[in-house]
Amino acid sequence: MYLKGVEIYGFKSFGERIRIDFDGGITSIVGPNGSGKSNILDGILWVLGEQSYKNIRAKESKDIIFSGGEGKKAASYAEVSLFIDNKDNFFPIEAENIKITRKMSQNGDNDYLLNDKKVRLKDIGELFLDTGVGKSAYSVIGQGKVERIISSSNKEIKGIIEEAAGVKKFQYKKIEAERRLEKVQNELEKIELVLGEIGENRSRVERQSKKAMEYLAVKDEKNTLQKGVLSFDLNLKTEIINSGEKENERLISSVSYLETEVKKCESELNKIEERRKELYIKIENFSESNTTLRSEIESLEKEEIRVRERHTSFERELKQKDEENQTLDRVISNKNEIFSKLLEEKERVKERVIEIEDKNKEFEKIIGEKENQKKDKEIAVELKKRKIMDLEVEKLKLLNEIESSTRRMKGSEFKINSLKEELSGYDKKVEENTAELEKATKQRDIKSKELKETEERQIKLEQEISDLSKDMNKASELIRNAEFEERRSSARLQGLYRVQESNEGFYKGVKEILNAKVQGVEGAVISLITVPENYQKAIEAAIPGNLQDIVVTTSEVAKKGIQILKEKKAGRASFLALDTIKVGSLREIPKKDGVIGRASDLVSADKKYTKVLEMLLGNILIVETTDVALSILKDNSFGGNIVTISGELLSARGRITGGESGNSIVSQIFERKKEIKGLEETVSDLNSKLKIWNEKVETMNKSLEKYEDEIGGIDALEDSLRRQTKLAEELCRDLKDKGQKIEKERRVIEIEIKEEENYSVEYAKRVENSQSEKGITEKIVSELKNELDIENTHIQNLNSEINTLKNEFSDIRILYLNSQDRFNQIEKEEIKEKFEKEELLDKKQKISKIIEEIKKELEKLQEKAHTISEEIKSKNTKFENENQELKEMKKEDHLLEEKSKELIRNSREFETNLFKEKEILNREVERKERITKEIDEILEQLEELLEVEGVVLSEDDLKSSRSKVRELELKLKSFDSVNLLSIEEFKELDNKYKFIDLQREDLVKGEKSLSLLIKDIDETIEEKFYEAYEEINKNFNEMCIETLDNSEGKLSLHNGEDFASCGVEISVKYKNKKRQALSLLSGGEKSMVAIAFIMAIFMYKPSPFTFLDEIEAALDEKNTRKLIGKLKEFTDRSQFILITHNKETMKASDSLYGVTMNKKIGISKLVPVKI
């Protein structure tokens, strides 16, 4: 894999589209400051996914789009593309060439494209993951990044090694797995909470469901037997009706026959009509076909004429081509004559050239000898000049040496004086450093004390937060439980509302009227009144049948309701019309102990229903016990019915009714209303509690936020104090080190004073030796200059002799050259004539081919004309046959029309007879309906049991079955309140419980597998990191030995016992120096250490391509050559693209590009440079 090129448009200063093609080896990009070189690297970082505009030297997104200049519009978008060769399948994409593009428009739209298809930034990042290539990888070293590597924290250095070790993808996988694990654990906690709540409800509903199922089983048995009894009664009545069925069957048979005959007539008529339609379509088609055939015949006749005209045209063209062929024969003959004449002249010129050639050769030989003598002399002169030049340079070096040594002697004297002054300065520094050390020690103690106080405050706040969090968790638990209960109660309430709206529990007829939504129907009595719970049994016992009476506004509405029930056969119902009901006189209530009051006064309803209440309950007295009721009845102190609150009814005539009614329909409706009211109160109460609890949680949240803000400030303060304490400690250490360093430097100065005194003596000797060598060199130069003058005189004499010889032989040479030119000219004319002749022959051959083609085309046209003539004859024949068939179809259509008229007459006779028979049949049906009304009551009861599967009973079983039905009815009444909805509710809860339990098991398995996966990833990351760390450490030491003059380089782990928080530190020990901090190195030393570290990574895992921006800026020529040499060693494994100003780098590059800028427009342009 290698980078083929980069294309940039509209990015920063590149307002016009440019493309840079990269080959292997080192490619350098050069240009003056501000020309836009580094914008190329910024563009590459940008396309690789850089999101920080600061890192690409911009403030905001619009800064990266070309903003225009003088006479140049701003770009509408910025686009950068990388072109990568993927023939070795380095990337897992089935394509030999990969194009990666990033495009951003002025409106902020930002697109990433892979081979011109839109992808996500994440996809681009994953593509380059662990390849060494990326926006923050070691393959892109921007301006100043070399020095930043040295000043990076130990964790940042570790990150660079991790990139080389290829663990980034494992780290991403670990982060994803941890995120998923946290999500699974949260879900598991929620599910276990929900599972507990559902389990409690499931157990409670299960008990209700069993009771409801037992109730339904008894009810089904009763309904089955009851339906069998009713069916037997119905069959008995039906036999009476069946006796009159024979006449009905005869009438039905007659009607059926007549209807069949009518249908036959209609069928025949339809067939005739369809046949006539077919004939009409065929007649139309044949007419159209005839017209089409006529058109086709005319077209063929025209085509025949056109073919004959083409035949005539080709004959004319054939004649023309024959004439053209004859003309070419004449031209070719003329060319042959010209060619013969040229050959004769060529022979004559050739003889003349040979005759002069010998004289010319003799002249050339003499001139050549003279020229060689002259050349030898000139070489000797040049050698002497170079020798003189070298001696002059040597002389200058000696002068420089004398001057330099003299300056050095003076400098040594100055330096000795300066060093003595510096020595006294160091004594002063020792005193100052001691004072600063005492001050720093005091500052450190103060900061340590402040840090301790801050840590104690943080512990206290954390305890407060912990206590508050526990309270919030408890409150949240209460809220969740209340919300669940509120949702459950609301769901139950909505279900009861739906049951109430569908009028379940009412008689069939009542339900039908209420569901019909008839205008004027107010509702059933039980729905319009409100009965206190303790009087419900009394009201049910007093007016059990009237509670399902339907209250309507007028008697007309009642009549309409009855009509609806009749039409739909939906049962019976009682109506209370507000305009017709009458209220009798209300009897006086006796004043006795145990008397509660008049029933109409104890029940509430809307004012407009007062008459209904007084009519039904006005003369009903409610008392506490049966004894009170009997006492009133015996005294005749109340003329109406008396009912106890437990449900015993005493009529005014002395009839006493009592017992247990069981789970009646009315009691179920009352129970439902009671449950609705209770649920409404429960939901309202829960909502109020939720509001209070939420407010409490909100208050606790605010307190928690306040504590967290404070602890956040304390965290920042603690970090600041830790840093300040650490800085104070470091300052103390630094001052101690500084004192030792000052003492060391003081000793160094003393040594330097002694060394400078020795140097001064040595340079005095050098000046004396250089003066002696200078005199010898000046003497040799003088001798060589004399010899040079003699050689120049010889060269002038030889030039004079050569010019004389050239003048003597000039005429012969001119004749020779002219003859030679004419010979060459004749050869060219010969070639030209030959070429023209070949062209004419080729043209003649082409014309001959055209003639052959014309002849073939004439034969084809003759054949085509014959074919068209035959086709015209065939179509004329077809035209005549179709005309004959058209006449026959018109005749058939006429016959069908006559038959259709006859069938219409027959059909009318059958319809008349059919009408008479239907009249007789209708009369018989009316008679049957009169008999059917006698069994309406049975049918109504059977309709209520429509969905029940009945049993077939014999006449002997009928009596025992009736007794059994009564027994089952009594058993049903013995049941207490039954919740029929609990059956479906239990099924739903049971399924939900099982489903959630399965989910919990899946989550537990997922939690275990994710934990194991994270552990495996951690082990893989550590293994790969330590493997890379050992290799890079070894490589770094080797690179330091090689590039830093046998220095010792070392990588060391900081806090190595904890892999997650450990870091890597870089250290270097120069030869004859102790190991020191990298911050104390010079700029060039820092650059070389950083480069050695980068090269060590390359030795372990080279990046496919690498961008370096002014990496050698701080290096001298020697170190630059070392750097380029190392890069050359890696060119077989990686491409290097360098942005540079350095001439040494340019010389060593395999390819070179220049970047210039038009300052007025502000556009950078690319200039390829040939090397």
In a domain, 393, yes or no: no
Residues 984 and 1094 in one domain: yes
Q: In b/e form, how buried is each residue of 955-980, taking b as 16+ CB within 10 angstroms? A: eebeeebeebbeebeeebeeeeebbb
In a domain, 899, yes or no: no
Pick from 655, 625, 421, 667: which is nearest to 537 by CA? 667
Residues 51 and 75 in one domain: yes
With 90 as the cut, is the pLDDT of residue 101 above it?
Answer: yes
Residues 127 and 21 in one domain: yes
- Would you state the pLDDT for residue 360? 66
Distance in angstroms (rounded) separating the CA atoms of residues 648 and 620: 12
Residues 216 and 166 in one domain: yes
Residues 48 and 127 in one domain: yes
Tell me how long the chain is.
Answer: 1171
Residues 515 and 590 in one domain: yes
Which carries the bigger pLDDT value, residue 689 or residue 488?
A: 689
Which carries the bigger pLDDT value, residue 1039 or residue 1073?
A: 1039
Residue 559, domain extent: 501-663
Distance in angstroms (rounded) separating the CA atoms of residues 714 and 719: 8
We report the CATH number of the domain holding residue 18 as: 3.40.50.300
Distance in angstroms (rounded) separating the CA atoms of residues 1138 and 611: 105
**Mean pLDDT of all residues in the chain?**
77
The pair of three-digit structure tokens given for residue 325, joined into one six-digit string = 């062929």
Count of the separate structural domains present in the chain = 3
Distance in angstroms (rounded) separating the CA atoms of residues 598 and 607: 17
Residues 66 and 169 in one domain: no
Number of neighbouring beta carbons within 10 Å of residue 439 = 12
In a domain, 516, yes or no: yes
- Would you state the pLDDT for residue 473? 66
| Phi, then psi, of 1115 in degrees rounded to 5 | -100, 150
Cβ proximity of 1109 and 141 under 8 Å: yes
Cβ proximity of 225 and 965 under 8 Å: yes
With 60 as the cut, is the pLDDT of residue 1171 above it?
Answer: no
Strand 1105-1109 vs strand 1135-1139: parallel, antiparallel, or unpaired? parallel
Give tens-digit pLDDT for 932-964: 776 777 777 777 676 677 777 777 777 787 787
Give tens-digit pLDDT for 1015-1053: 888 888 888 888 888 888 888 888 888 777 778 888 888
In a domain, 8, yes or no: yes
Distance in angstroms (rounded) separating the CA atoms of residues 886 and 890: 7
pLDDT band for 1169, please (50, 70, 90 cuts): low
Q: What global pTM score does this model have?
A: 0.38
CA dihedral 111, 115, 119, 125 (to 10 degrees): -100
Number of neighbouring beta carbons within 10 Å of residue 356 = 17
With 80 as the cut, is the pLDDT of residue 793 above it?
Answer: no
Q: At which of 601, 635, 663 does a domain end?
A: 663
Distance in angstroms (rounded) separating the CA atoms of residues 329 and 845: 11
Number of neighbouring beta carbons within 10 Å of residue 511 = 19
We report the CATH number of the domain holding residue 640 as: 3.30.70.1620
- Would you state the pLDDT for residue 81? 92
With 60 as the cut, is the pLDDT of residue 132 above it?
Answer: no
% of the chain with per-residue pLDDT over 90: 1
Distance in angstroms (rounded) separating the CA atoms of residues 115 and 650: 97
Which carries the bigger pLDDT value, residue 1170 or residue 433?
A: 433
Mean pLDDT over 823-844 rounds to: 74
pLDDT band for 494, please (50, 70, 90 cuts): confident
Residues 580 and 658 in one domain: yes
| Phi, then psi, of 826 in degrees rounded to 5 | -60, -40
pLDDT band for 396, please (50, 70, 90 cuts): low
The pair of three-digit structure tokens given for residue 1060, joined into one six-digit string = 């997650």
- Would you state the pLDDT for residue 622? 92
Residues 165 and 231 in one domain: yes
We report the CATH number of the domain holding residue 203 as: 3.40.50
Mean pLDDT over 1062-1076 rounds to: 76
In a domain, 512, yes or no: yes
pLDDT band for 129, please (50, 70, 90 cuts): low
Give tens-digit pLDDT for 974-1012: 776 666 677 777 777 778 778 878 877 887 888 888 888
- Would you state the pLDDT for residue 25? 81
Mean pLDDT over 778-787 rounds to: 74
Q: Which range (306-315, 686-695, 732-741) has the least confidence?
A: 306-315
Q: At which of 633, 663, 693 does a domain end?
A: 663
Q: In b/e form, how buried is each residue of 882-919, taking b as 16+ CB within 10 angstroms? A: eeeebeeeeeeeeeeeeebeebeeebeebeeebeebee
Residues 516 and 658 in one domain: yes
Q: Which DSSP helix (H) or strand (E) runs through 442?
A: helix 245-501
Residues 551 and 651 in one domain: yes
What's at 7, amino acid-wise? E
In a domain, 1051, yes or no: yes
Residue 956's SS3 state is: coil
Report for 195-204, 324-333, 590-599, 854-863: range of highest mean pLDDT:
590-599
What angle, 0 to 180 degrees and rounded to 10, lies between the N-to-C axes of helices 982-1043 and 1117-1129? Answer: 130
In a domain, 719, yes or no: no
Which carries the bigger pLDDT value, residue 388 or residue 728?
A: 728
Give tens-digit pLDDT for 571-596: 788 888 888 888 877 888 888 888 89
In a domain, 85, yes or no: yes
Residues 117 and 168 in one domain: no
Residue 1137's SS3 state is: strand
